[in-house]
Amino acid sequence: MKGGKNMALRESFERELARLHEDVSSMGAEVQRAIVRAIAALDHRDVERARSIIAEDEAINEHRFRIEAACHGLMATQQPAARDLRTLIAALMIIVDLERMADHAKGIAKTVILTANEPSFPPAPDLRRIADRVRQMLDQGLQAFATGDVALARRVCEADDEIDHLYKQLFNVLLSYMLEDPRTITRCTYLLWIAHNLERIGDLATNVAERVIYCETGHLQDTNF
Amino acid sequence: MLEASAVGVFYGDREALREVSLRIPRRKITALIGPSGCGKSTLLRCFNRMNDLIPGARVEGEIFFEGFNIYQPGVDPVEVRRRIGMVFQKPNPFPKSIYENVAWGARINGYRGDMDELVERSLRRAALWDEVKDDLRKSGLSLSGGQQQRLCIARALAVEPEVILMDEPCSALDPIATLKIEELMQELKQEYTIVIVTHNMQQAARVSDYTAMMMLVEGTRAGTVIEFGETKRIFTNPRDKRTEDYITGRYG
């Protein structure tokens, strides 16, 4: 980036872009927190915590619209081009992905409430692995957006295959439980729902990483097959 | 169809343009953008030998139009300018009637067809006919700025050129008149090849199909083309850092 008098030409736009980055990061942190709390609510079968996740989702939605409006304003007034334009487009798409991730966290919380009176879940270590990996993907995706780290973004995209593999493995394990003991069918089905929510969060984290790659390189690519 | 090959321009001792090689695609709009003094207008004027008219100007390299070098000996610059017309920054109608403004070029070229028909056709192509058809005897200077510029475009079209060079054609016009000219350019590119110099980057982004980014060669006062490509790509993903800085307003 050039210094000196040239920067003064667009100082206020630079400030707005920096603020946009901060806003997306802080929305990302809220979403991460919702996901972490949803997993904790599941671990502890904590209905109160699950309810609060559902209640807090509204604030995340509002945050998204605030950022969206700010992007619209910058597009209308600054005529962004090149990287500036790509940054705004990436931000607009990332906040939608983040909002959907929060919806999936809410989905997990709802399942926690629905299953409150079910007996304990059968052991499913792959579910824990999926949860940990997905959280890490989102964390790295947001970090890549904040720092413009394309290599990190690519690693997030690659991790998605691992999630798909774990998801299939978990599916087979749960299927075997259900075949062995049909009384577990309800519980196992709920666990599959939860795994599906986590798997979708992984896909959306991949989208975030793809947007970072677009923002930094100008190349649109789909790494989800 | 129009191609610059290693073109350089000197005004006396001063080098104004260096090593420009550029292919202008047929029936498309190509925008030349870049900071002031980087040689955009100089390059534009090379395309129809307008630099010949500037004392001390010297052009090196070659400009090919339909395969022949327009700077080779024996080429008639007047014929070059008939086939490659020009519209200037400030509308410059002659102090004559609207009709005479349009008919003038054709008349001195010895046009033998139906002059009324040619005037009407040219004014229609320049999207001015409906506004002036009832008063063709009125002075061209009595029109508004935007109408005057369209009159100049009609005048350029009347000699049936193949290329139209536009040197900041909207810089003296208000936004509505500007949009009219821009709409007109979209019509005209069906039949003509257009090259436009503009300082207005949004205009380049809106109207052109291809963009050539120009810049001074470092440490000199000579301009050159540093990047050329589809306008959409230039404005979303320029390859050259200097292009990026210029179109995003980082380069003063």
Total domains in the fold of chain B: 1
State the pLDDT at residue A188. Answer: 95
The contact set of B with A (CB < 8 A) is: 201-202, 205, 235-238, 243-245, 247-252
The amino acid at residue B43 is L
Range of the domain at B228: 2-247
Indicate the pTM of the whole model.
0.82
Residue B7 maps to a domain: yes
HSE-up of residue A2 (Cα within 13 Å, Cβ side): 18
**Alpha carbon of A208: minimum distance to chain B alpha carbons (Å):** 19
A81 CB within 8 Å of a chain B CB: yes
Question: In Å, what is the CA distance from B83 to each residue of A108, B18, B76, B86, B105?
Answer: 71, 25, 11, 10, 12
Domain ranges in chain A are 13-217
- Is B88 in a helix, a strand, or coil? coil
Question: In Å, what is the CA distance from B177 to each residue of A4, B132, B171, B208?
Answer: 37, 16, 10, 18
Tell me which chain B residues have a C-beta less than 8 angstroms from the C-beta of A87. Answer: none
Closest residue in A to B202 (Cα–Cα): A79
pLDDT tens, chain B, 252 aa long: 899 999 999 999 999 999 999 999 999 999 999 999 999 999 999 999 999 889 999 999 999 999 999 999 999 999 999 999 999 999 999 999 999 999 998 898 888 999 999 999 999 999 999 999 999 999 999 999 999 999 999 999 999 999 999 999 999 889 998 999 999 999 999 999 999 999 999 999 999 999 999 999 999 999 999 999 999 999 999 999 999 999 998 875
Tell me which chain A residues have a C-beta less than 8 angstroms from the C-beta of B247. Answer: 81-82
> CB distance A82–B201 less than 8 Å?
no
Closest residue in B to A80 (Cα–Cα): B248
Query: What is the ipTM score, two decimals?
Result: 0.73
The partner residue sitting opposite B236, judged by closest CB among A2, A5, A85, is A85
Tally C-beta pairs within 8 A across A and B: 43
State the pLDDT at residue B156. Answer: 95
Q: Please state, as a whole number, how many other Cβ atoms lie within 10 Å of the Cβ of residue B136.
A: 18
Write out the two tokens for A141. 């995706």
CATH code, domain carrying B130: 3.40.50.300
Dist. CA A61–CA B102, nearest whole Å: 61
pLDDT digits (tens, 9 = 90+) for B100-145: 999 998 898 888 999 999 999 999 999 999 999 999 999 999 999 9
The partner residue sitting opposite B251, judged by closest CB among A6, A86, A218, is A6
Closest residue in B to A87 (Cα–Cα): B236
> In terms of DSSP H, where are the helices of B109-144?
115-125, 129-132
Q: Which of A134, A122, A139, A111 is nearest to A47 (CA)?
A: A111
CATH number of A13-217: 1.20.58.220
Tell me which chain B residues have a C-beta less than 8 angstroms from the C-beta of A1. Answer: 250
If you write DSSP's letter for every residue of A43-65 in order, what string do you get? HHT-HHHHHHHHHHHHHHHHHHH
pLDDT digits (tens, 9 = 90+) for A7-60: 556 788 999 999 999 999 999 999 999 999 999 999 999 999 999 999 999 999
Residue B252 maps to a domain: no
Dist. CA A8–CA B150, nearest whole Å: 38
State the pLDDT at residue A54. Answer: 97
The partner residue sitting opposite A9, judged by closest CB among B237, B238, B249, is B249
If you write DSSP's letter for every residue of B151-184 in order, what string do you get? HHHHHHHHT--SEEEEESTTTTS-HHHHHHHHHH
> CB distance B235–A5 less than 8 Å?
no
Tell me which chain B residues have a C-beta less than 8 angstroms from the C-beta of A85. Answer: 235-236
> In terms of DSSP H, where are the helices of chain A?
5-8, 11-44, 47-78, 82-114, 125-147, 150-180, 185-217
**Alpha carbon of B32: minimum distance to chain A alpha carbons (Å):** 17
If you write DSSP's letter for every residue of A181-196 in order, what string do you get? -GGGHHHHHHHHHHHH
Tell me which chain B residues have a C-beta less than 8 angstroms from the C-beta of A15. Answer: none
Closest residue in A to B200 (Cα–Cα): A79
A79 CB within 8 Å of a chain B CB: yes
pLDDT digits (tens, 9 = 90+) for A193-211: 999 999 999 999 999 999 9
